[in-house]
Structures are given as C-alpha cells and as structure tokens.
Structure 1
Amino acid sequence: MHGKMISTRTDDEVDCLIERISDTESVEKAEKLYSYESYPGIQKRHVLTIWAFLGFFNVYCLRVNLSVALVAMVNNTDSSKNDSQSTECVGPNDTTTNNLSGEFPWNEETQGWVLGAFFYGYIITQIPGGYLAATFGAKRLFAYGILCTSVLTLLTPVAARLHLGVLIALRVVEGLGEGVTFPCMHAMWGNWAPVWERSKLTGFAYAGC
C-alpha cells in the first residue's frame, strides 16, 4: 500500500519528500551532536575546548622551551662574536661570571640557526595539515603531532651533544610534527562547534598558546 502511494507521486513530490527527510535527519543529527553531554551539565564540545586549551598550552611550551634553555646551554664567555658583556666594574664577591659558562661554544649566528630551524619545518606542514586531517582524522593527527614533538624534545640534549647538525635536523622535524596542530583543530571545530559558538570556543582553545 505504501509502495503504491509513493509510486503515484510525481517526480517533484518525491524529490521534495527526500529532501525533507534528509533535512530532518541532519537537524536531528546536529541536535544530538551539539547537545550530547560527556558529564552532567557539561556539553561535549565544551570538554573538547578544555582539552584543546591544554593541548595548545603544551604545544607552546614545546615550541619555546629551547629559547629558555639555550641561555644556560651556551658558553657566552667562549663566544668570539659575543660583544654583549657588561663594562661595569666587577666586585670582589661577584660570582655572576661563573653563570656564563655553558656547555656549548655557540656564537649568536649558530644560536639563531638552532632556534630558527624549528620554524622551517613548522611552515611546511601548515597547508598539507588540513588535507591530512581530513584524510586520517583530525583527532589522531593532532595527537600524533604533539606526541612526535614531545618525544623529540626529550632527545634534544642527546642531539646537541652528538653534533650541531643533528640538533638542527631534530628541530626541523619537531616543527613538522607541530605544524599540523592548528589545521587539525580547525577541522575539528568545523565538525563539533555550532556556527554561532565557533568564535567563542576557538578563542578559548587558542588562548592556551
């Protein structure tokens, strides 16, 4: 009976009915997605926002930690091109000069290469990061990107003691891994955040960095 009723409809009526059913399913799916609660009173998209904030906080720490550590790593007193030493008179009890003795005799140009190497890799994966997120999944790619950068950061002291070139190559690879984080997050917000909340949710998430 139902088949006969459908068969008596015109093509335009059938297309209109299919479109109406599709729209209804899309609305129900969107309402279920946006209103799903991970915890009592907390929407799932808000949980994602909190985790994204913590993730970007970690990403920023991994990006700049060497800039802080380099001060203690470099032997400034042994640098032939370092002219930034103070001309003030040193007192008899002043021991600040001992703090300038680091392990690596890198001049300012070498330090620039070490710090800048990260961004050579970082800029490469910015554009393909969106394609990779759509292909392999933004959640997995975001996690693997941070994991790769974290593990390589732990190897920084070993690479620095092996050779300067090894350290620079390591920093480039770290940039490749971290460069996919922002494209991945954009892909996730495109699926999880309602249009009227995207600016608020993304603003909070990106405040971590």
Structure 2
Amino acid sequence: MAFMAFLGYINIFLVRNSINLAIVAMVNYTAVNNNVQIIDNTTKPGLIQCEVYSENFTGKNEDGPFVWSQPIQALISTSFLWGYITTNIPGGRLAEVVGTKYLLTGSVLLTSVLTVLVPPAAYLGWQYLVFIRVLMGIALGPSFPSMHPMIAKWIPNERSTISALVYGGAELGTVSGLLLTGLIIENIGWEAVFYVEGCFGVIWAVFWLFLVHDNPEEHPRISEKEKTYIKTEIAKDAHVSNKALPIPWKSILTSMPFYSILIANIGHNWGFLILLVDLPVYLKTIFGFDIKSNAVILALPYFLSWISTLILCPFADLCKKRKWLSTVAVRKIWTLIGHLGPALCLFVMAGAGCNIQLIIAMLMLSQVVEAGNYGGWLINHIDIAPSFSGILVSHHFFSFKTALIVS
C-alpha cells in the first residue's frame, strides 16, 4: 500500500507541476519582452537583470509559440488551484465514507486524460488551457485528503516513517517531473511532456486498482499474521474506526490543536508552492537560464528534501519508540524545524541580489530542513483524530489554497 501510494504521489506531482517548467518553453519571451500587443494589453518589457548565463548552463534556449504576458502565465500556473479547492473537503469525507482505493483511481485516471488534452487546449487559446487546468485541480482535489484515512487503517505504528515514504512521493515527483520535463523538452518538444506523463498516470491507476485495498480485512493476499498484528495494534486506539462516523463539527471548530495544525499548514505550503510556481520563470527572466539548467537547479533541492525526509521522519518515530520525546514534543519540534529553517533561508535569498551561488545554496538548504514537516504537522491529524483525518486535512488544504488564490 505505502509503496504504491508513494508511486502515486510521484505521478500526481508529475502532472500537476510540469506546466511550471514547460511554460518556459511554451512562451515566446522575445515577443513578450518586446512589448508585442496581445489580447489583454498588459505585456511589459522585461530584461535579464543578472548576467550569469554561461557555458556552465548550456542547452537550447528557444522561444515557444505563445505570446502570453506574465499575468497570463501566472494565471495558467495557478489556475489548477481554483479547481483544487472545490474538492478538498468532499474528497476527504468521501475517502472516509467510500474508501481511498476507488476515489484515488478515478482521480488519477481523469487527471491523466486531461493532461493529454493540455497541448491542443493551449493551441486553441490560453483560456482553454486555464479551463483544463481548473478541471485537473477538481480531479486531484481528493488526492491528499484521501490518503490519511488509509494510513490510519493500515499503519498502527511508525506513522511518521510511512507518511514520509508516501508523501515523499510529492518531493520525488517534483524532482522527476522537473528533470523529465526538461529532458523531454530538450529532445522531443514541450507537447510530448503531457502525452508521456498522461500515460504514466493510466499505468499507475491500473496497478493501484488491482494491488491495493482500503483496509487489511479486505485484502485477499495479506498473511493472517500481518492482518492480526495490524488489527490488534489498531484496536489499541479507540479513536480508529473502519466505518464512517458522524462528523463532530462542534468539536472540530472549537479545537485548538486543529487550528494550530491549520496555521502550520498555511505557512509550509505557502512557501512551498510560491517557490514551485515562480522559480522557473524567475530563473529564466532574471538570470537567463535555459530549460535544461532550469530543470536541474530546480530539481536538486527537492531531491535533497526527499533524502532528508527519509532521515528525519524515521528519527521522529525512534524518539517516540524510545520515549525520548512524547508525540506532542516530536510534532512540535519537527514542525519548528520545517518552518523556521526555510524562513531563514528565504530571508537570505531575498538579500542575495545576483549572487546565484548563494541563492542556490539557500534554496537547497531550505528544502532539506523543510522535510521536518513530514514528521510534524502533516501527520498530526491522525494523532488527534484518526477516524476524521480525511476531513481534517481537507479543511487545511482548502483554507490554504483559498488564502493563496485571494492574495
């Protein structure tokens, strides 16, 4: 289950984030920078401010076919979130009621079809592309909230470690997505990015459908020994139920732990998504990096974050198992590491000017310490209310995406 979920999140982050790098190859920056008249009349001239492009960063640096202003590019990149927020809460609750297996299968299959439609939509017009991205967001809205209920039913102990493995797919998906996108663009063209990644999603969904089940009782191939162990350990937690329970809205909305996790969620994801969406265009327009250089520089920090996750999260479980720290202390300390570290790195980056070496170093360090979040607030929903973890985490993602879009 955990390994297939890990592969699933790799695929999900492949298809949802590839546009952020592919758009660099899709846009005719020469026309945009020369203030060519376009549909929204908002194009402004732009010049490379830091001349660091050299033989160390080589590759094709050709213009794409689309004359899209910076506001349109930003709209295309963020339009995914407009759809995403609409299905976060229903997705989390549906996972609790009907299970994660079929919900995630449908989510990924629909998204894969929409991914293949990205190139023709772009040629029809940026408005059609925005529409496709919104539909992709609607389809993938349940993807994160739906996994917490499955983890609660399958993993009685070592939840930090297993969550690091599962959700680490997001980091590795970002890494592989950036590298794969850059490689495909360099050798085949930007259109092929979406055709290849769409096919990956279909293949994963087929294997997920036949290999994974919502809980140990339904799995036909699990050993009786393992099934008994999981059932026995899960039974020790009186708050875990295989049946969907009525949602205690009053308790949720008056819970201080709930709001504490909410604030941590907003802080973490704000920085994560801002970097993910804006860095490719930033490196292209400010430093003049080509597609290949852009992909490598962007991918390395997320790879280091994934490695760091595999170290920090098992250590969190070890601290709990050896009783060096309580569960509450572990969640607080790991959340502090995952927030304070990246914040300090971003402050340094903001004052680095054209010092690209320092900027890249801080970017890498920020993602290394960001991994603390996987052993902190991200898994805390299961600690405080495992039977309602889907609805709890869905509200947090919904609140964050809403705040980001409104801003």
Q: Report the TM-score, using the length of structure 1 for normalisation.
A: 0.68
Q: Percent identity?
A: 40
Q: CA deviation at 1:171?
A: 0.2
**What is the aligned partner in structure 1 of residue 167 from structure 2?**
206
**What is the aligned partner in structure 2 of residue 148 from structure 1?**
110
**What is the aligned partner in structure 1 of residue 253 from structure 2?**
none
Counterparts of residues 11-160 of structure 1 (less than 5 Å): 48-79=1-32, 80=35, 81-86=43-48, 99-160=61-122
| C-alpha distance 132-83 of structure 1, shift in aligned 2 (>3 A) | same
| C-alpha distance 87-175 of structure 1, shift in aligned 2 (>3 A) | closer
Asked if the contact 1:54/1:208 (under 8 Å) is kept, the reply is yes
What letter matches 2:163 in structure 1?
Answer: T
**Helix, strand or coil: the match of 1:206?**
helix
What letter matches 1:71 in structure 2?
Answer: V
Q: CA deviation at 1:163?
A: 2.1
| C-alpha distance 88-129 of structure 1, shift in aligned 2 (>3 A) | closer
Asked if the contact 1:149/1:178 (under 8 Å) is kept, the reply is yes
Asked if the contact 1:77/1:100 (under 8 Å) is kept, the reply is no
2 CA distance for matches of 1:132 and 1:138?
A: 8
- What is the aligned length? 154
**What is the aligned partner in structure 2 of residue 180 from structure 1?**
142
**Helix, strand or coil: the match of 2:104?**
helix
Asked if the contact 1:142/1:181 (under 8 Å) is kept, the reply is yes
Asked if the contact 1:156/1:167 (under 8 Å) is kept, the reply is yes
Deviations 1:127-158, CA, capped at 9 Å, x for gaps: 11111223332111111111111111111001
Deviations 1:2-59, CA, capped at 9 Å, x for gaps: xxxxxxxxxxxxxxxxxxxxxxxxxxxxxxxxxxxxxxxxxxxxxx111111111111
2 CA distance for matches of 1:88 and 1:146?
A: 40
Q: CA deviation at 1:82?
A: 4.6
Runs of 4+ in 1 over 6 A off after TM superposition: none
1 CA distance for matches of 2:143 and 2:49?
A: 45
Gap regions ≥5 residues in structure 2: 36-42, 52-57, 171-407
Larger radius of gyration: 1
What letter matches 2:164 in structure 1?
Answer: G
1 CA distance for matches of 2:70 and 2:141?
A: 26
Asked if the contact 1:129/1:179 (under 8 Å) is kept, the reply is yes
1 CA distance for matches of 2:109 and 2:21?
A: 21
1 CA distance for matches of 2:50 and 2:84?
A: 41
What letter matches 1:66 in structure 2?
Answer: I
